[in-house]
Amino acid sequence: MIWGWSRCPSRDEVNRIRLHIWKNRDERKEITENQTFKKYYGEVEWKDNVDAERRLKSKIWKELLEKAGEKLARKVVNNPEMIEILRYVGWVVSHGMSDEEILSEKWYNEVVNWFKKMKNFNDFLLRGF
């Protein structure tokens, strides 16, 4: 199994990344809906485990939204897509490998290739820090 972005960021990091995802949602879609990316990884597993409404009211989010401006804050509160982003606590892309692939002489090159295909996604999320 090849994994990307499987770490658990701190609360502050998650909130900064969420804000980055929201501000750059078109770029996120461009990366994650790219046919090559989908061929290698399918869909991104957006991990959630919290109530979005509670996140909206949290102190950290209020501070981030104040820094981002009132216009963005209004968009967030009134946008179902942002409510979903607020639920995210982790992001994972993965690809399972068969025994045949792992035992292949090309295995090393394939693994390197898979990680290269993941780079744009990881770079996008890291810019949120």
21: Cβ contacts below 8 Å, ≥ 6 apart: 28, 85, 88, 125, 128
- What radius of gyration, in Å, describes the C-alpha atoms of the chain? 17
Is this model's pTM higher than 0.85 or not? no
* Helix ranges restricted to H, the chain: 11-23, 25-32, 35-41, 52-57, 59-68, 70-77, 80-87, 99-103, 107-126
Q: Which residue has the higher pLDDT, 48 or 56?
A: 48
pLDDT in tens, 59-106: 656 666 666 666 666 666 667 776 666 666 677 788 778 888 888 898
CA atoms of 107 and 12, how far apart (whole Å) = 38
In sequence order, what are the residues at sequence separation of 6 or more whose Cβ sits closer than 8 angstroms to the Cβ of residue 7? none
| 10-40 confidence digits (pLDDT tens) | 777 877 888 888 889 899 889 989 998 888 8
